[in-house]
Structure 1
């Protein structure tokens, strides 16, 4: 019985159980007295806990020195301005002749030939970082099952894969460096050296 009283006090009963509990309290005098006694104890305990809690003093925040804050702000502005002007001064565009863009100073893409053997396939495509992951169709090279395409590739590290018949992903069998991507497919890694 005490378990139901405790559950009622702690609001752990469902609505149906609460209804049964109130019906029982109303019909059973001894049960009613016990509930009232325990509720009174709960009331005393709650009151005692509220009065025995010591007053806690909240720590006060020190006021920031206005001059100190102003100095920090000024120092941050100086660093930011220096970074901006130093970046403009030391950037590669500072020494370039007038009329040339930054893109003109970067190495030009070099043609790279991709070849794969897929006998009996109706379609082979390639997709990779050098095509912005857009599909590019390969063309049959003769009638013996080889497919090829030559694409411009800039220097750097590139990931790519072949798509056979529109659904099967095939890494380049001629490239030793491969890795799994986030989708479970295997990509080949092509490293193109920049020309000086």
Structure 2
């Protein structure tokens, strides 16, 4: 902090000022600067959400799939959508949802919730037949319907779990394939 009590970083100070305005508008008591900074750093760097964002950015930066963050007409956003050519020359699509999670640290209900997102939860967030509504891929995908195989992409560290076969078997019941990818 500067002698004035403000953050030395102009960006950090600007973000804190926006936070103060929001709290005032909401008629809520704001955190002091250092407490706010600590909470902000946790959410941006160490939380599960931060891990998920890093995993997603890592996949995008490695250019593993053609389409990322595909908006759907139902209001949801699909992590990745990919067309693959099989050895016999035929093509198929992959509907990919990504979760940066450690399967041995979550409840089975949580895992099944991830699987249900494809077809069950809220009418099927990523269900085959859902219309794509994407300005980002307007000429290529907009107006088309999702088709293909459901893939739940999770960190590669899960692949070596002693009970990973149990998770794969449960995923099959929901017509979902687990894909293990380096973070």
Q: Classify the TM-score, shorter chain.
A: under 0.3
Structure of greater relative contact order (alpha carbons < 8 Å, 6+ residues apart): 2
How high is the TM-score relative to the length of structure 2? 0.23
> Which one has a larger percent strand, Structure 1 or Structure 2?
1
The structure number with the bigger radius of gyration is 1
